Structure 1
């Protein structure tokens, strides 16, 4: 059992080093716009608003496809499937499309339970734009990838926020 832990630690270190080299190599000479600038560390500055809309592209065993999501008072009030599979899933599994806060809870749970992969990329304002989970590296069908785009915070009236910081 100890040998397995040492091997895992070495492979994680090697993977981390390879990822750092790859990130450094791809960053050289690139000019990223502020909108596309992402960080791999969590930010404590972003708080999930009670109302917003976003697009979720999910590749999980339970939820796969692209969804346009509206959140009001911290709950998903509307989820529209963009493609055939996601439309079917919205019909058959209502309530499975999560809020961004629920996705962050999944990330925290995966980290606290020692998942092999529990990573996120963040926008400049601190909100997640990509969450990648894999509880067991050698297990099949436990991976999850969530890509969050077209995020628009909503004002108390339900209209897009006019706050420039949003």
Structure 2
């Protein structure tokens, strides 16, 4: 009986150590997470379109319905309470999709820890994730781009 208990204890300790090592390795090596990501999209931003932006950044948080005309944000509607407050307090902070792509390119050129994007079939970004320094708190940004509609539809 004692041998069985000792073996069970050794196996559970080994499993715990193995899980800890795997978890530590998954936390990251400190290498930037943008090395294998495409450097840019082939999508060309149209002059006019609408989209929904969900943003989690230190400056801009919430979900916004955005209209872009002649390459500039012309209307922003806060979809939730946070975004409605943001529209009132920091007007002009909601970017075009092109501006989001410039932020991504800047993060990549600055060797940010994370500078990743996921793209739709037409090449426009659907998700942009940025983190300039993995050791700095509150420098992360996540932008989700949805409900994209080119003008004239």
* TM-score interval for Structure 1 and Structure 2 normalised by the shorter chain: 0.7 to 0.9
Alignment pair present for 1:11 and 2:11: no
Quick one: distance in 1 between partners of 2:88 and 2:123? 32
Task: Name the SS of the counterpart of 1:149 in structure 2.
Answer: strand
Check the 8 A contact 1:43/1:127 in 2, yes or no.
no
Alignment pair present for 1:89 and 2:86: yes
Task: Name the SS of the counterpart of 2:86 in structure 1.
Answer: helix
Q: Which runs of no fewer than 5 residues in structure 2 stay unpaired?
A: 1-27
Report how many aligned residue pairs link the two structures. 125
Aligned-pair distance for 1:11?
Answer: 1.1
Alignment pair present for 1:154 and 2:151: yes
Superposition misfits of 4+ residues, deviation over 3 angstroms: 40-44
Moved more, 43-52 or 130-139: 43-52
Check the 8 A contact 1:41/1:122 in 2, yes or no.
no
Instruction: State the TM-score, normalized to the length of structure 1.
Output: 0.70
Aligned-pair distance for 1:112?
Answer: 0.4
Root-mean-square deviation (CA, aligned residues, Å) is: 2.2
Aligned-pair distance for 1:147?
Answer: 0.2
Among residues 57, 62, 65, which one is paired with 1:65 in the alignment?
A: 62
Aligned to 1:135: 132
Check the 8 A contact 1:53/1:151 in 2, yes or no.
yes
Instruction: State the TM-score, normalized to the length of structure 2.
Output: 0.76
Quick one: distance in 2 between partners of 1:81 and 1:144? 18
Aligned-pair distance for 1:118?
Answer: 0.3
Q: Which runs of no fewer than 5 residues in structure 1 stay unpaired?
A: 1-9, 17-39, 161-166
